[in-house]
Amino acid sequence: MPPSTAKSVAPPIRGSRRRWWSAASAVAVVGAAAAVFAVGHGSDSGSSPVFAPTTHKVSYEVTGQGTVPNISYSADASGNLLMVMHPVLPWRKSVTIPVGLTAGNANVESGNSPTGQPAGSPPIVCRIWVDDKLVVQRSSGDGFSDAACSTQLSPKQG
């Protein structure tokens, strides 16, 4: 038989090249996911940049003399305000506010009487404690103004 003029080299199989790229891509994706997980969950050193949901004990206080028309305060993560009508001062309230991956807020505001406080009365003062630490204090100063306090509640780091 005459020698064949056809070459004996097999044509490249394009499917195997595609499988190789698919496998390499999968390895790269798994490696990237592992790196993100490792960074997100910190190392053995105990430090971690990830923020976790937490709760904060928030204590509100409004001091002064007599009765004020109302006090509004935030009592939950939604930021909705609750209102107490005609509270006698001093007034105190503690709540636990959950905080997710973003910051929350704690607010308290005391409305003053339209005629103000009696002459010689102390100013209306609001205070907010977060986890037993005083974080903000404001005063009405002139005896006629409202007193309002607000602070940001941070998620827990780590």
130 vs 136: CA distance, rounded Å: 9
pLDDT in tens, 53-105: 899 999 999 998 888 899 999 998 887 899 999 999 999 999 999 998 778 89
What pLDDT sits at residue 146?
85
Q: For residue 23, what are the CA distances in angstroms to 33, 39, 131?
A: 15, 24, 51
Whose CA is closest to 70, among 150, 151, 152, 147? 147
For the domain covering 51-157, report its CATH number.
Answer: 2.60.40
* pTM beyond 0.95: no
Secondary structure class of 114 (helix, strand, coil) = coil
108 pLDDT higher than 60 = yes
130: pLDDT confidence band, cut at 50, 70 and 90?
very high
